[in-house]
Structure 1
Amino acid sequence: MDRVLGYCALLWCLLLNHAVAETLESRQIAHRTERVYAIPAGALLDALKQFSQQAGIDLIYDPVLLEDIKTQGLDGKFDVASGLHFLLIGTGYRFVEQADGFEIIAAQASAGREISGSQTGEKVTVLPTIQISASDTGSYAATSSVTATKTNTLLRDVPQSITVVTEELIKDQAIQSLGDAVRYVPGVGVSQGEGNRDALVFRGNRSTGDFFVDGIRDDVAFFRDLYNIERIEVLKGANGMIFGRGGSGGVVNRVTKQANWNPVREFSFQGGSFNRKRMTGDFGHAFNDKVAFRVNGLFEDSGSFRDGVVMRRRGVSPTVTIKPTDRTKVVMNMERFHDDRTADRGIPSDSNLNRPVDVKRSQFFGDPKRSHSDAEVLSFNALIEHRFDSGVTLSNRTNYAQYDKFYQNIFSRSPALDNRVFLGAYNDATDRENVFNQTNLLYSVDTGPISHTLLAGVEIGQQITSNVRQTGFFNNDPRGISFPVPLSSPVTDVPIAFITRPADADNRSVVDITSLYIQDQIELLPQLQAIAGVRYDLFEVDFRKRNGDTTQINTTDHLISPRFGLIFKPIEPLSIYASYSQAYVPRAGDQLTGIIVTRATLKPEKFTTYEAGIKWDIYPDLALTGAVYRLDRTNVISPTSDFGGSSFLAGEQRTEGIEIGLSGRVTQSLSVMGGYAYQDGEITSATEEAEKGATIAELPRNTFSMWSRYDFTPRIGAAVGVIYRSSMFAAVDNTVRIPDFTRVDAALFAQFTRRVRGQINIENIFDTHYFASVHNNNNITPGSPVAVRATLIANF
């Protein structure tokens, strides 16, 4: 660990100090008050929304007229008038102060409703304007992302399928987990994760490790909460050039809430079905024009529709942002998070019907009192960013994290046969220490008529993992790794002894990573752009097995991950793209806990993606996307069909599909988010558990989802969500089929006062009996019956 820490250029520190914001002054004084702004160059519409929120003012303008206008951005300390003037430089627009806000008009226009034509003297009618309030809640559509290219790039200029779950959507759907967040993301499914961790299926590829936070690997298996998250970015396809190890079928990047100069003071209280109780807080304060502080907190104590299943969470995440100069920014953050819950492995299948067994949705198999998962997370993050006079931007981000996780489960390990089921048991303890440091250099330059945005970076990291697994023996019998129980009463309280056998994991691994990458975003013509990049990863593993026949294996992988894409824009709001990319997943961390480790199993998985698509910003706030792709995967590790916690080498597989997505505002009152995905995947080489041509597990052929919110008045709104998933196989042996389902959700929204709002979310409003996720043929999670959650949010 010392070798890596020596590269970290930042001094870790945390400022924990809370102050109460002073009473707001009069409007005239507020307009003269200088604030620090950090608004990137890009679309003027996006910049005006950010300025309105940061300045606390109302802006009036016609979005149609400003649709394709760009701005140089705003970075520094300004009063309202100076900042707005600077933001509009070079746009052909100016502002006029009105009684109800600042109106944006054409530079040659008067404040009236008509202007004279410059050539003919005829009257030109100015289109109706709209007013954007400083309290505007945002949109379901995002226009740009830093994650996909490590540069601030419009989403329509990225040759890749990307779905962004915005802060407004997170609030409207009361999203609290990654599983909930991707329900309306086409091409992404939810896996069970054995009841103790996040697990998603990207285009037919299950992953528990492709999770990132602010672009840095967040690599441990636990259930993440979103109390301190601003938005979620889902990138599909191979992402090796940007993310290195992982980035296979797709990745999820969480963007954290950062301290800024917008005052934030918010409490939320939630209660609902199955004894749900949850409370969050978000407080932000600017000490002066150089230092801002923010802290997010969480407490939850909830039950479940599943018998004996409970969940307790608590977390705190303070952040400090420092701007010593207009060109330098330092952000420091830490998080302490604890998740304690019942490890619920669901229900088994019926061996006669080859489908989930017919029992009550609440029925637990095993013993909920002795099935528990406990995760403790402590992380520190720091970012320093500086813009030089030469135009070069240097950024350095460091993440250090400690994870302590233990889970134990007593679960069904066989299908139901002759009215009985066999149970199994094991526990698993993991201690992990991660440190990653990433440095990027960004520079824009023109070579004749061709524009370049150049990126060069280096990433180093180390991951140290200790893992011990114990098998449960029922009635303390050395032969009792299975225990039969009647289907009518599948919960047992017989004594169980947990012992580490020679075949169980008792491992320690040290992974060292050194990466170099370069990328060029090229504007060949105004209508033609290209992205070309390549990444080199040096991946070294020192693996030691400490029980039975002790084993030590050292491997070194030299991995090259290229990426190339072309974007053609016949008109500015429309992009047509094609791309090629590769990624590798070397074995490390949790992948080594459930498989017999040899040099063959340590060989990296390889992912190759071919993709073409279209992105159309129908309106500035409404985006339609479509993609067609093929994803090839080799040297696959797949979970066994029946037994929990074990994996095997599954050869090669291919997934092909089509995705269509729609997000944003259709009208000022109607917002939508969702899409459709067609996926076809098969095993392309025979394995010990799957024949060649077998269908990939957890891959429904068709999925459709759409969430729509309509605001009847500025104070009252409602939403309806529909989720459809066609049938799929639970495992690669294609024995157990999970039925299709359609689920309908709903929500009501009310703004009671300027500072207090409330909402009611109803999940599965028609009480559909369905199965939400699986891990294998005998770990199948039933979907929730009707569940109601009421949330009250207070700002002060």
Structure 2
Amino acid sequence: MQSGSQRQDGAEAANASRTLSTIQVSVDALDPDDARARSVSTATRTDMKVKDIPQTIDSIEVSKFKAYGINDLSVMLQGVPGVESYYDTRGEGIMIRGFEASYGDFYRDGIRESGQVRRSTANVERIEVLKGPAAVLYGRGAGGGVVNLISKQASFDAVSSVGLRAGSWQNRGANFDVNRVLSPNWAVRLSADREQAHAFRSGIRNRNTMVSPSLLYDNQRGLKWVAQYTHDDVWRVPDRGPGYDNLPAGVSVRNGFAHPGDYIQDTLRMFRSDVSWQFSQDWSVRWIASHRQADQDFDHYFAGTYCNAARQTSAGQSCTWPGRVRQNYAWQQTRNVTQTHILDVSGKLATFGVQHELLMGVEATEEERSPRLSSGSSNSFIDPYDPPGPAGWVIRPPQGAPTQHNRHDATSRAAYLQDVMTLTPQWTLLTGVRFDSYRFHSTNRITGAQRHHSGQTWSPRVGLVWRPLDAHSVYGSYSKSFAPYGGRGMLSVSTAPSAVFDAEPEYSRQYEAGIKSDWLDGRVSTQFAVYDLRRYNVRYQPDATNDPYTFAVRGSDGSRGMEFSASGRVSADWYLRSGVGLQRSTVREDRMTPANTGRHLANTGSFNGSLFVRYVPAPAWYLEAGATFVGPQWANLANTSRMPGYARVDASIGWRPMPWTVTLAMTNLLDKRYWRSNSMPGAPRGVLLSASYLF
């Protein structure tokens, strides 16, 4: 039996332990100044230090952007080296190292997010961007890289918060994020967010609602289970006006071109179950199951062609509506459903003095995309100086029988093996291989026509890391990705009788070398990489009119560049987060249009990056200022239209007398006029005031 003094000593020790634990949690959760991630999981599907991964990976803390009122995923990624964005009101316009990543290269908690939808960031804690081919773990992709959204979920150490925010253009919102530890085995979390705002453009507005409950069970003997449901609803009046090169001089960038009744609504419903069991000291098994449905419904007038006083368009074609923009019109209802099961086993073993960290797994995925679309003739002729104006009020066509109604299905089965081998304390070799078997099937629900395509491929990866010193690692790597027919861009297989299958997938191969380092006793981390990324087997029809059954290899595209990033605490009161990317993305060979050889790929430029400095003179105060810069970008493959580059300066001041946090942030501090893409001007100066209480 224990004596009274022993019990008292034990109680005091337990109280001290709880107090220390609380302090540690608070410090971790409330120190927003160092933007570095402790570890990342996207590159290897296991938690690893960035320095140990032989490939470039950038981690973005979403709260840094939320403080400025930036919720758009493509805007958040603008300053990531090698990542470029263009405006797409229906989805994400993202290029990674020169290649499109908008349709098949987005993931949430390691699970593919298919479809052309706008992805909410309301319940996203951080974003990891893995540069270069990643098929060895994720299967098909465009090859430029993958974007993985890491959700907020129940844990035993998360801090709860409630917050309010208000800012320019009637922006107002509230968030509620409560994490509770119910027992040593159970924790629950409920995250919710509601926002509505107008845009700086007339008639444009949005309304977003997110609710995400999650549950964590840990039996403290190796068994863990996370269950999470996320419901996102993103409604907006679309901002999809004519491009800057299709408007006359003097048209205000604040003019919106939407009509009464225009809308786009994206609804995401996702359930995820993640069960892991560590059945021995070195080995564990994990099963991830996910069901995701993303629906997009839209009905709106968009884009259009301006006809000048000489009755000519900007392309020199004749037109009959002088002084007006003739808009396009479409409505569409699309359902994207993805069901995923991933089962893997990981563990450690030693053979002949070599330490192995193994990951072996299988993956089964079912995807469906079902669009109903009508794009009839437009009856809208807008005065660009006064939209919509008297000429813009039209009778909206009723939604009726679709002109296109399809169902596209994809089935994928894969097996993969990854081995991280510690050859010596200084040398580590990462190897991996994946085998994919896939099938795509499409049905035209109007004509009843059906087509399908199937295939299989291998995807290898190898990387070598040398650590001459504990603070530095030097690496080189090779990786490969594939994009089969039906897996490029939007999920679809043409059902037209004359359609010819592209039997061989496109392949992307990358060679990369770099140095990752820690400086100033580990307070600052840097990444430097050079790469050569190429896409092969790009195909075309040499004589589509007379011989629609013959395909040939058009050639290849490529991207070469270098990237550098630095982040951390440079001195007692100063913090840094920065990065810059230089690249040249071009057509390497084009047998279809030889004149394109050597030209820049569309929506790509030569450099981009960001530089933010944070000053923390006292624990309760901080000031931050920085710039996001984007170089000129070619808007088309012919390289006849070039978007000018820009630099946007943002600044904020924060007051943090715990448990309160108040932030006043200003975007586009210098009120610079610029276009973030051909169809969207940059927002003018904006202000956001936010306050939160943590408990």
TM-score, scaled relative to structure 2: 0.88
How far 1:500 moved relative to its partner?
Answer: 8.2
Q: How does 1:625-644 map to 2 (within 5 A)?
A: 625-634=527-536
Equivalent in 356, 359, 364 of residue 256 of structure 2: 364
Instruction: Name the CA distance, whole Å, in 2 between partners of 1:770 and 1:633.
Output: 32
Q: Is the 8 A contact 1:674 1:707 kept in 2?
A: yes
Instruction: Name the CA distance, whole Å, in 2 between partners of 1:27 and 1:222.
Output: 58
Equivalent in 451, 454, 457 of residue 355 of structure 2: 451
1:493 is matched with 393
Matched, 1:32 2:14: yes
* SS of residue matched to 2:136: helix
1:618 is matched with 519
* SS of residue matched to 1:563: strand
Q: Is the 8 A contact 1:617 1:623 kept in 2?
A: yes
Amino acid at match of 1:315: M
Distance 1:733 1:673, change over 3 A: same
How far 1:592 moved relative to its partner?
Answer: 4.5
Q: Is the 8 A contact 1:672 1:708 kept in 2?
A: yes
* SS of residue matched to 2:429: strand
Instruction: Name the CA distance, whole Å, in 1 between partners of 2:308 and 2:349.
Output: 69
Instruction: Name the CA distance, whole Å, in 1 between partners of 2:386 and 2:502.
Output: 40
How far 1:207 moved relative to its partner?
Answer: 2.1
Q: How does 1:145-544 map to 2 (within 5 A)?
A: 145-166=40-61, 169-170=64-65, 172-193=67-88, 195-209=89-103, 210-246=105-141, 248-262=143-157, 264-350=159-245, 358-365=250-257, 367-389=258-280, 391-414=282-305, 417-418=308-309, 419-475=323-379, 484-491=381-388, 492-497=392-397, 505-544=404-443
Distance 1:547 1:676, change over 3 A: same
How far 1:417 moved relative to its partner?
Answer: 4.1
* SS of residue matched to 1:241: helix
How far 1:421 moved relative to its partner?
Answer: 3.0
Instruction: Name the CA distance, whole Å, in 1 between partners of 2:68 and 2:482.
Output: 34
Distance 1:623 1:318, change over 3 A: same
Q: Is the 8 A contact 2:408 2:493 kept in 1?
A: no
Amino acid at match of 1:527: Q
Matched, 1:750 2:641: no
Q: Is the 8 A contact 2:349 2:356 kept in 1?
A: yes
Q: Is the 8 A contact 1:263 1:286 kept in 2?
A: no
* SS of residue matched to 2:375: strand
Distance 1:690 1:343, change over 3 A: farther
Q: Is the 8 A contact 2:83 2:94 kept in 1?
A: yes
Matched, 1:667 2:556: no
Instruction: Name the CA distance, whole Å, in 2 between partners of 1:474 and 1:307.
Output: 22
Distance 1:430 1:651, change over 3 A: farther
**Which is worse superposed, 446-455 or 274-283?**
446-455
Matched, 1:558 2:488: no
How far 1:139 moved relative to its partner?
Answer: 2.3
Instruction: Name the CA distance, whole Å, in 1 between partners of 2:66 and 2:245.
Output: 39
How far 1:449 moved relative to its partner?
Answer: 2.5
Instruction: Name the CA distance, whole Å, in 2 between partners of 1:29 and 1:417.
Output: 83
* SS of residue matched to 1:472: coil
Instruction: Name the CA distance, whole Å, in 2 between partners of 1:279 and 1:747.
Output: 19
Amino acid at match of 1:57: I
Q: How does 1:125-164 map to 2 (within 5 A)?
A: 135-137=30-32, 139-164=34-59
Q: Is the 8 A contact 2:599 2:637 kept in 1?
A: yes
Q: Is the 8 A contact 2:276 2:284 kept in 1?
A: yes
How far 1:637 moved relative to its partner?
Answer: 9.8
How far 1:681 moved relative to its partner?
Answer: 1.2
Instruction: Name the CA distance, whole Å, in 2 between partners of 1:332 and 1:568.
Output: 39
2:640 is matched with 735
Structure 2: state its 5+ residue gaps: 1-7, 310-322, 541-552
TM-score, scaled relative to structure 1: 0.77
Q: Is the 8 A contact 1:318 1:333 kept in 2?
A: yes
Q: Deviations over 1:642-685 (max 9, x none)?
A: xxxxxxx9863211111111112212321211211111111233
Instruction: Name the CA distance, whole Å, in 2 between partners of 1:304 and 1:694.
Output: 36
Instruction: Name the CA distance, whole Å, in 2 between partners of 1:702 and 1:263.
Output: 37
Instruction: Name the CA distance, whole Å, in 2 between partners of 1:510 and 1:489.
Output: 45
Q: Deviations over 1:26-53 (max 9, x none)?
A: 99958505999xxxxxxxxxxxxxx96x
2:319 is matched with none
Q: Is the 8 A contact 2:467 2:474 kept in 1?
A: yes
How far 1:607 moved relative to its partner?
Answer: 1.6
Instruction: Name the CA distance, whole Å, in 2 between partners of 1:629 and 1:743.
Output: 27
How far 1:413 moved relative to its partner?
Answer: 3.3
Q: Is the 8 A contact 1:212 1:218 kept in 2?
A: yes
Q: Is the 8 A contact 2:135 2:459 kept in 1?
A: yes
Amino acid at match of 2:187: A
How far 1:705 moved relative to its partner?
Answer: 1.2
How far 1:226 moved relative to its partner?
Answer: 2.4
Amino acid at match of 2:96: F
Q: Deviations over 1:690-735 (max 9, x none)?
A: 7222211111112231111111211111101112222111122222
How far 1:396 moved relative to its partner?
Answer: 0.8
Instruction: Name the CA distance, whole Å, in 2 between partners of 1:348 and 1:594.
Output: 30
1:88 is matched with none
Distance 1:266 1:505, change over 3 A: same
Distance 1:794 1:577, change over 3 A: same
* SS of residue matched to 2:433: strand
Q: Deviations over 1:371-391 (max 9, x none)?
A: 321111111100111111262
How far 1:633 moved relative to its partner?
Answer: 1.9
RMSD over aligned CA atoms reads 2.9
Q: Is the 8 A contact 1:348 1:357 kept in 2?
A: no
Q: Deviations over 1:387-446 (max 9, x none)?
A: 112621111111101222112331223366444433211122111221101011111112
Distance 1:215 1:324, change over 3 A: same
Q: Is the 8 A contact 1:771 1:782 kept in 2?
A: yes
Instruction: Name the CA distance, whole Å, in 2 between partners of 1:180 and 1:30.
Output: 50
Q: Is the 8 A contact 1:760 1:790 kept in 2?
A: yes
Distance 1:544 1:394, change over 3 A: same
Structure 1: state its 5+ residue gaps: 1-25, 37-50, 60-130, 476-482, 639-648, 775-779
Count of residues in correspondence between the two structures: 654
* SS of residue matched to 1:183: helix
How far 1:551 moved relative to its partner?
Answer: 2.6
Instruction: Name the CA distance, whole Å, in 1 between partners of 2:595 and 2:263.
Output: 32
Instruction: Name the CA distance, whole Å, in 1 between partners of 2:60 and 2:560.
Output: 24
* SS of residue matched to 1:362: coil
Equivalent in 708, 711, 734 of residue 616 of structure 2: 711
Q: Is the 8 A contact 1:607 1:631 kept in 2?
A: yes
1:56 is matched with 22
Distance 1:403 1:289, change over 3 A: same
2:544 is matched with none
2:543 is matched with none
How far 1:460 moved relative to its partner?
Answer: 0.3
Distance 1:670 1:743, change over 3 A: same
**Which is worse superposed, 708-717 or 782-791?**
708-717
Instruction: Name the CA distance, whole Å, in 2 between partners of 1:630 and 1:700.
Output: 16
**Which is worse superposed, 272-281 or 586-595?**
586-595
Instruction: Name the CA distance, whole Å, in 1 between partners of 2:243 and 2:122.
Output: 33
How far 1:200 moved relative to its partner?
Answer: 1.1
